[in-house]
Chain A
Amino acid sequence: MEVFQSHRKSSSNNVIVSILPFYRSAPPLEVRLEDFEFFAMDRLRVLKGISDGLCRGKKPEEMEKLVVDLWKANMRHPQAVEEVNKDIISHFVLRLVYCRTEELRKWFLSMETTLFRHRFRLESSEAQRALMSEFKLPYKAVSNAEFESVKDKLGQVARSMGQNLPAADAIFYKVPFEEVPDLVSGRRVFIHKGHAYVAMNQVVSLVVTQFRSYISKALILTNRKWTSTIREQEKDRLTPIVEALCTSYLGPDYSQPQEFGEISIKDIDQVAKTSFPLCMRHLFEKVKEDHHLKHGGRMQLGLFLKGVGLKLDDALAFWKAEFAPKVSAERFDKEYAYNIRHNYGREGKRTDYTPYSCQKIISVTPGIGDHHGCPYRHFSEENLRAALVRMGVSSRAVEDVMDKVHNRHYQLACTLTFEAVHGSSCDAGINHPNQYFIDSQRVLQSKNGSVA
């Protein structure tokens, strides 16, 4: 097995120039089973944080800062060796987790590439050059003579982008244009006879393309190995961990409503139509229809509304009003108000309960008369189709959603619904009803300039 070199030393100070690995081969280290899981979860937090950032349309500078913060919060270790090992180990574990379907591979590839891109940009230019030669990119630095001959054109390109003219000793790489599609696309390079003249600061593009391509192939290979040998061999040890990792919810718990602050009762009807995920829409509609909800439904919807920003007093008023045709005011105060206050942490052990994640909601099985749980899992095909149509999902999108449902990818089905209803993509995927709500409000707000 290849010996993994985790340190690159610069000639002068014996200082480690860069610790950005390419994940070319699995490290020949012994890993404790717990670390296997914990390292992976930490890295997953980073990737999901990135996914979240992208989903929310953060600009490149914001993403760069986000990556730094996420890495610091989850992956830092005082000893560089340990940090590199955790970096590599966690990557390889997540490869196992995310190699298993096309969707998972696509997501993982996208997030790892983004992570790599930002980490690479943060390296010094010496370190970047060292990394480039490690990657064995067969690109030659442009000779002085050639530089002189194309200097004017290079200058034109720079100025067309609002940058300064290249210095006399600037380094440029001559690269087949096929290798730098995004630079070609944006006319950010001078191209001549099939070669692109890439500036040092654009080198990121080159390396990232290589990285992406490599990881993409590696994931396919990993998947083959997983299906043919690893999964069976490891069924008592690693396999259960790997299978659980993918669905574990690591995101925010939405117990504290943030951006949109408060929602008052009069807003609820409106936002229910536009921004509630199907599970909550269904519960909401049922409350309005039946003037009642059983315990499971009250918990699921009630905590969701709390996360959405409904204050305790408004919540009490809401439920009281909805139940009024069937439950007198006194009975409400006696039998239901307590539980609602309990949910808001005002009673008993004062736990501030957190709204349920998709994972939790999917796992419950509603009984007769119940309306909670995940509709993608529990509705009949006919009912689900009708519900999607009522939400405004086009018939083509309904087919895509149903396809996911048949394959038991309930969260992906909800994500597709989100995308169809809002006309915008959600790369991170839906993991939490409150996330659906917040993302929906964001999309609508950016369209209308106001909260819908």
Chain B
Amino acid sequence: MTKEEADNGRDDMVIDVPGQANAVPDGFNANYLRIYYGKLFPHADMFKWMSYGNDGKHPGCDKSYFGRREFSFTLENDIYIRFQSFNSVTELENSIKEKCPFKIDIGPVYSVDPAKRHAYAQSGDNVFTPVERELVFDIDISDYDDVRYCCTGADVCLECWPLMTIAIKVIDTSLRDDFGFNHILWVYSGRRGVHCWVCDGKARRLTNEQRAAIADYFHVYKGNENSQKKISLPGLVLHPFLARSYTEVLKGFFEAKLLPNQNLLASEERYEKILEMIPDASVASELRRRWQENKRASMSKDDINIVRWEQLKSILQSGKQKMQGLRRCVEEIVFSYTYPRLDMEVSRHMNHLLKAPFCVHPKTGRVCVPIDPNNCDEFDPTTVPTLSQIWAHNSCDVFTWQLLEELNRGGLRQDAENEWDRTSLGESVAFFRTSFLQPLLKSCKEEIENSYNAKLQQSKNDLSW
């Protein structure tokens, strides 16, 4: 079919296709999900990722690897099925298309195919146990409700989203510089947070104890509604990780963005929360007195928050302050507002299930797209494609639609790639491939080869007399 014919055909198609921009309902819709899985969900890419190079092409490949990975599906009506496993991309794809899960979770790689787990014991010799699992992190903006006044709960806007951005920066830098990890995927969770998948071989093979250690290394914010002081930074100086996070990310963000945007010192209710964190009551009173006298924005044209923050810093950091607890008070305040608040439990255990990238969030209809940590300032959760938008966009262009079908059936075709690019989702998939998947697979192949060669060498050595 030529493009002309397609264009002419489009007029006939309009009536059938429920794709008029006005008529498309917002957000999530089970029918759209079915089409999404049918046409757009990157099954092949997910398969390649989860195979970690074990595609059978090299003699060192582990053919059972993909089949030992647990997936779990949440179906319509909250029916939850665990321990799903597949032996090929076709099995994976067919199952997803058939069951049309509202949510797909990825679990660990087990010692044996999860479908056969009942034949194995829980302890002793013949065991069913996780053997590999990405190191994962989950950050949810609703954990920051006490420091954002623009939204609460599940809502997110461009004023408060930057809290997620700086969390990504702090954690990503540390994972790479401190821990030496390279293959890191950040994903928008679809509504109000981000997930992080660390996929290096070393990361996948970490024990629960090691995962807990990394989570604890990142654990600085310790609190709940009941604890007064949630950040405690004792010691004469900060650990290099905390110092770097502060100077490179947190301080700047707090002073230039969060403070003025959330008006943290503008009203009594809000500045009291900060004054509470100052262990020296006389200092707190002094500031309170000054700010109460100065209720209106004063002579200065500068933002009242910034003015007051400077006053606070100058008192706390002046040489006169000898009191032990004040030494790091300014940093503690900044940390308590901005430092990443991770869900510790998610990271600690190998068997924790986490939502798969490219799923669609049932409440918002938004696709869980990757986020580029090097450009995370540009990421805007409010413009992430939703199911209905994708559908609307695609339904207008049958040609593209057909190409997409080709794409999902077979391999990547050169011209198809350009068409794919045009859709907003296409950009995300492209990013996933070039920034994450390809380097990862390259590294995996190397690992498989090296390991195989080492084994060969070993058996040669063993045989020699």
* Residues of A bordering B, CB below 8 Å: 102, 153, 156-157, 159-162, 177-178, 181-182, 184-187, 190-195
Contacts of B123 in A (CB 8 A): 102
> Are A159 and B180 in contact, CB atoms less than 8 angstroms apart?
no
B118 at the A interface (CB under 8 A): no
> Are B238 and A160 in contact, CB atoms less than 8 angstroms apart?
yes
> Are A190 and B213 in contact, CB atoms less than 8 angstroms apart?
no
Given A161-B235, A162-B235, A192-B177, does the pair A187, B214 have CB atoms closer than 8 Å?
no
Bound together, the chains give a CA A161 to CA B216 distance in angstroms of 16
> Are A181 and B180 in contact, CB atoms less than 8 angstroms apart?
no
A-B contact sample (7 more), CB < 8 A, given A160-B236, A185-B216: A157-B240, A159-B236, A177-B179, A184-B216, A185-B212, A193-B180, A194-B179
> Are A160 and B239 in contact, CB atoms less than 8 angstroms apart?
yes
> Are B210 and A156 in contact, CB atoms less than 8 angstroms apart?
no
Contacts of A159 in B (CB 8 A): 235-237
How many whole Å from B356's CB to the nearest CB in chain A?
A: 27
Bound together, the chains give a CA A46 to CA B240 distance in angstroms of 41
CB pairs A–B below 8 angstroms (21 shown):
A153-B240, A157-B239, A159-B237, A160-B235, A160-B236, A160-B242, A162-B234, A181-B210, A182-B213, A184-B213, A184-B214, A184-B216, A185-B217, A186-B216, A187-B242, A190-B240, A191-B217, A192-B180, A193-B177, A194-B202, A195-B180
Given A160-B236, A161-B235, does the pair A194, B180 have CB atoms closer than 8 Å?
yes
How many whole Å from B141's CB to the nearest CB in chain A?
A: 25
> Are A156 and B243 in contact, CB atoms less than 8 angstroms apart?
yes
Bound together, the chains give a CA A181 to CA B179 distance in angstroms of 12
Taken residue by residue from 214 to 252, chain B's Cβ proximity to chain A (1 for < 8 Å, 0 otherwise) reads as 101100000000000000001111111111000000000
* Residues of B bordering A, CB below 8 Å: 123, 177-181, 202, 206, 209-210, 212-214, 216-217, 234-243
Given A157-B240, A159-B236, A162-B236, does the pair A191, B209 have CB atoms closer than 8 Å?
no
Contacts of B181 in A (CB 8 A): 194
> Are A187 and B177 in contact, CB atoms less than 8 angstroms apart?
no
- Minimum CB distance partner of A157 in chain B: B239
- Minimum CB distance partner of B206 in chain A: A178
Given A162-B235, A193-B180, does the pair A181, B240 have CB atoms closer than 8 Å?
no
Bound together, the chains give a CA A186 to CA B235 distance in angstroms of 13
**Which of A102, A177, A192 is the most central at the interface, judged by chain B CB atoms within 10 Å of its CB?**
A177
How many whole Å from B214's CB to the nearest CB in chain A?
A: 7
> Are A185 and B213 in contact, CB atoms less than 8 angstroms apart?
yes
- Minimum CB distance partner of A153 in chain B: B240
Q: Which of A102, A162, A187 contacts B239 (CB 8 A)?
A: A187
Contacts of A191 in B (CB 8 A): 178-179, 217, 241
Contacts of B242 in A (CB 8 A): 160, 187
Contacts of A187 in B (CB 8 A): 217, 239, 241-242
Bound together, the chains give a CA A326 to CA B214 distance in angstroms of 67
Bound together, the chains give a CA A185 to CA B239 distance in angstroms of 12
How many whole Å from A198's CB to the nearest CB in chain B?
A: 14
> Are B235 and A181 in contact, CB atoms less than 8 angstroms apart?
no
> Are B239 and A192 in contact, CB atoms less than 8 angstroms apart?
no
How many whole Å from B342's CB to the nearest CB in chain A?
A: 14
Q: Which of A156, A157, A181 contacts B213 (CB 8 A)?
A: A181
Contacts of B202 in A (CB 8 A): 178, 194
How many whole Å from B201's CB to the nearest CB in chain A?
A: 12
How many whole Å from B137's CB to the nearest CB in chain A?
A: 16
How many whole Å from B348's CB to the nearest CB in chain A?
A: 11
How many whole Å from A221's CB to the nearest CB in chain B?
A: 12
- Minimum CB distance partner of A150 in chain B: B240
> Are B217 and A156 in contact, CB atoms less than 8 angstroms apart?
no
Contacts of B237 in A (CB 8 A): 156, 159-160
Contacts of A177 in B (CB 8 A): 179
How many whole Å from A206's CB to the nearest CB in chain B?
A: 14
Bound together, the chains give a CA A192 to CA B174 distance in angstroms of 9
- Minimum CB distance partner of B218 in chain A: A187
Bound together, the chains give a CA A102 to CA B216 distance in angstroms of 27
Given A194-B179, A195-B180, does the pair A156, B239 have CB atoms closer than 8 Å?
yes
Bound together, the chains give a CA A195 to CA B212 distance in angstroms of 17
Contacts of A184 in B (CB 8 A): 213-214, 216-217
> Are B179 and A156 in contact, CB atoms less than 8 angstroms apart?
no
How many whole Å from B209's CB to the nearest CB in chain A?
A: 5
Bound together, the chains give a CA A182 to CA B214 distance in angstroms of 10
Contacts of A192 in B (CB 8 A): 177-178, 180
**Which of B236, B237, B240 is the most central at the interface, judged by chain A CB atoms within 10 Å of its CB?**
B240
Given A178-B202, A187-B217, A194-B202, does the pair A156, B209 have CB atoms closer than 8 Å?
no
- Minimum CB distance partner of B214 in chain A: A184
4 A-B pairs with the lowest CB-CB distances in the bound complex, closest first = A194-B180, A181-B213, A185-B216, A193-B180
- Minimum CB distance partner of B179 in chain A: A194
Bound together, the chains give a CA A355 to CA B130 distance in angstroms of 47
How many whole Å from B309's CB to the nearest CB in chain A?
A: 25
Bound together, the chains give a CA A195 to CA B177 distance in angstroms of 10
How many whole Å from B289's CB to the nearest CB in chain A?
A: 34
Contacts of A193 in B (CB 8 A): 177-180
> Are A181 and B178 in contact, CB atoms less than 8 angstroms apart?
no
**Which of A153, A157, A191, A193 is the most central at the interface, judged by chain B CB atoms within 10 Å of its CB?**
A191
Contacts of B212 in A (CB 8 A): 181, 185
**Which of A159, A161, A181 is the most central at the interface, judged by chain B CB atoms within 10 Å of its CB?**
A181
- Minimum CB distance partner of B243 in chain A: A156
Contacts of B234 in A (CB 8 A): 162
Given A178-B202, A185-B217, A186-B216, does the pair A156, B238 have CB atoms closer than 8 Å?
yes
Contacts of A194 in B (CB 8 A): 179-181, 202
How many whole Å from B278's CB to the nearest CB in chain A?
A: 22
How many whole Å from B103's CB to the nearest CB in chain A?
A: 28
Contacts of B239 in A (CB 8 A): 156-157, 160, 187
